[in-house]
């Protein structure tokens, strides 16, 4: 799946000037000393040389991650002081739009002091980190800050996956069939991009539910969708709000297609680097979009069908086909199934934050926010994360897809929908 994400990143850099990235903000309840953080980051940089790698190709065209043998590599750290939390969030927002300084930079930090508290913002290059990996990386920084050891290197070494081509081609065929079925039938609601110009920015809106509200949402989810079915429950509420949005703001009706990112790591696996993601795709029928019960039932059936057919792993295998082609060509190949399948919005629900410590160094963490930048397609994403039994909603969109006001409306409608469910 790395290669698929690398190709997505190539598209993003080409069209927008910056690649896909994840941003995580840790809000601390006290002031974190900048010198301590700088020292911890220096230690992490020494222990994880993979941080300063870049993609290169071997003589046989096989891609590999080139790790520098020596050099004075460092993780960038900016330090600022602002007057309010809003100002801190605005600074973090700017960080996510600043291109990487060079091809070997994949993570950068910003420590922002506000009165007697601090916020630690980190931007992670999606080529090297997925959301869970980014949380695990912050955990490694926390351990360094706390004086604990972290192991040198990482068990990231993976086989080149350049054998068993027949198997990968069959997976590709399976995926092509899947996409053909997904796009068959009525037209799918999607956003028309106005322009893919360099410098396109994204808006985001963040809402954290209280502990009480989160518990109520969990109870409602169990009642409406069943035990362990929080993910389809949140997606159904989101789809209902988005269906209304498309109807009222875009005057369009139709089915929705939603890619949902899935972390393929097992519970005990703590691999920090590279991507371990696959996607499920849901087609939500226009006729069901106002009816939560029908939607949930249909989503559960679609999840069951995709697991039964092995679609998740087939997508991972098929993406490895792109390793035989240079990125500009694999970009064109990869575009075929995706480009022909319009999507309505992207969705993810990470119910357990990979950052599990209550502190960062010796500072208590008040909250964690995951602020993903949006991949090229479809340009609007709705994400849920949970930390310390509090659910956070992030709506993020490219500015040429929806306006800032529309992002706020989508967020507030979804908050209302979840609060008023019971």
- Helix 165-183 with 292-309: angle, nearest 10 deg: 160
Cβ atoms within 10 Å of 382's Cβ, excluding its own = 26
Question: What secondary structure letter does DSSP report for 188?
Answer: B
Q: How many CA atoms lie within 13 A of 183 on its CB side?
A: 14
Site string for another protein, 310-349 (x = CB under 8 A): ----------------------------------------
User: Taking CB under 8 A as the rule, does residue 266 contact another protein?
Assistant: yes
Q: Is 303 in the site for another protein (CB under 8 A)?
A: yes
Q: What is the DSSP track for 45-113?
A: HHH-GGGG-EEEE-TTS-EEEE--SS-----EEEEEEESSHHHHHHHHHHHTTSPPSSTT--EEEEEEE
Selected binder of another protein within 77, 229, 324, 357 (CB under 8 A): 229
Nearest residue (CB) to another protein, 349 versus 410: 349
Residue 295 touching another protein (CB under 8 A)? no
Question: Residues 6 or more apart from 361 whose CB is under 8 A from it?
Answer: 32, 36, 37, 40, 142, 145, 146
Q: Select from 29-37, 83-91, 220-228, 385-393 the region that touches another protein (CB under 8 A).
A: 220-228
Q: For residue 304, report the phi and psi dihedrals to the nearest 5 degrees.
A: -60, -45
Output the smallest distance, CB 119 to another protein, in A. 29
Q: Does 269 bind another protein (CB under 8 A)?
A: yes
* Torsion sign (Cα): 295, 301, 307, 313: negative
How far apart are alpha carbons 266 and 42 in whole angstroms? Answer: 30
Count of H helices and E strands in the chain?
11, 14
Position among 74, 82, 97, 226 found at the interface with another protein (CB under 8 A): 226
Contact indicator for 368, 356 with CB cutoff of 8 Å: no
Out of 232, 259, 342, 361, the only residue in the binding site for another protein (CB under 8 A) is: 232
Q: Which of 61, 287, 290, 307 binds another protein (CB under 8 A)?
A: 307
- Interface segment toward another protein; rule CB under 8 A; list 62-70, 281-289, 304-312, 333-341: 304-312
Query: Where does this chain touch another protein (CB under 8 A) — which range of 40-48, 247-255, 302-310, 363-371?
Result: 302-310
Closest distance of CB 194 from another protein, Å: 35
Task: Please report whether residue 78 would count as binding another protein according to CB under 8 A.
Answer: no
Q: Which is nearer to another protein, 210 or 309 (CB)?
A: 309
Please tell me the chain's helix, strand, coil percentages from 3-state DSSP, rounded to the nearest 5.
40, 25, 35
d(CA 140, CA 131) in angstroms, rounded, equals: 15
Closer Cβ to another protein, 169 or 304, answer by number: 304
Q: Which is nearer to another protein, 307 or 329 (CB)?
A: 307
Among 231, 243, 353, 411, binds another protein (CB under 8 A): 231
Question: Which residues of this chain interact with another protein, rule CB under 8 A?
Answer: 222, 226-232, 262, 265-269, 280, 300-301, 303-304, 307-308, 351
């Amino acid at each position: 799946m790395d290669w698929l994400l690398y190709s997505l990143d190539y598209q993003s850099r080409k069209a927008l000037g910056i690649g896909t990235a994840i941003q995580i903000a840790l809000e601390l309840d006290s002031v974190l000393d900048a010198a301590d953080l700088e020292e911890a980051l220096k230690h992490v940089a020494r222990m994880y040389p993979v941080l300063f790698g870049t993609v290169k190709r071997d003589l046989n065209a096989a891609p590999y991650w080139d790790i520098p043998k020596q050099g004075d590599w460092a993780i960038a750290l900016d330090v600022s002081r602002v007057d309010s939390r809003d100002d801190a969030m605005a600074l973090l927002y700017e960080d996510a739009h600043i291109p990487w300084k060079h091809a070997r930079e994949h993570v950068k930090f910003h420590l922002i002091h506000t009165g007697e508290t601090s916020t630690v913002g980190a931007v992670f290059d999606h080529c090297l980190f997925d959301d869970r990996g980014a949380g695990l990386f912050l955990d490694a920084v926390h351990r360094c800050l706390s004086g604990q050891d972290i192991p040198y290197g990482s068990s990231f070494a993976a086989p080149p996956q350049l054998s068993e081509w027949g198997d990968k081609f069959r997976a590709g065929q399976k995926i092509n069939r899947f996409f053909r079925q997904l796009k068959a039938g009525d037209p799918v609601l999607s956003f028309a991009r106005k322009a893919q110009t360099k410098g396109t920015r994204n808006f985001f809106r963040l809402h954290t539910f209280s502990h009480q509200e989160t518990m109520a949402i969990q109870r409602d989810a169990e009642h409406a969708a069943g035990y362990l079915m929080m993910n389809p429950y949140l997606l159904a509420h989101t789809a209902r709000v988005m269906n209304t949005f498309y109807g009222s703001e875009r005057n369009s009706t139709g089915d929705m297609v939603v890619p949902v990112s899935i972390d393929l790591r097992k519970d005990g696996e703590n691999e920090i680097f590279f991507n371990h993601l696959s996607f499920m795709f849901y087609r939500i029928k226009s006729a069901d979009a106002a009816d939560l019960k029908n939607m949930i039932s249909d989503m559960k059936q679609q999840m069951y069908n995709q697991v039964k057919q092995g679609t998740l792993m087939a997508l991972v295998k098929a993406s490895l086909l792109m390793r035989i082609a240079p990125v500009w060509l694999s970009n064109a190949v990869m575009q075929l199934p995706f480009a022909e399948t319009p999507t309505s919005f992207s969705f993810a629900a990470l119910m357990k934050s990979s950052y599990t410590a209550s502190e960062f160094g010796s500072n208590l963490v008040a909250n964690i926010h995951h602020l993903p930048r949006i991949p090229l397609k479809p340009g609007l994403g709705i994400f849920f994360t949970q930390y310390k039994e509090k659910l956070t909603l992030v709506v993020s969109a490219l500015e040429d897809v929806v306006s800032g006001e529309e992002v706020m409306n989508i967020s507030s409608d979804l908050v209302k929908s979840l609060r008023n469910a019971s």
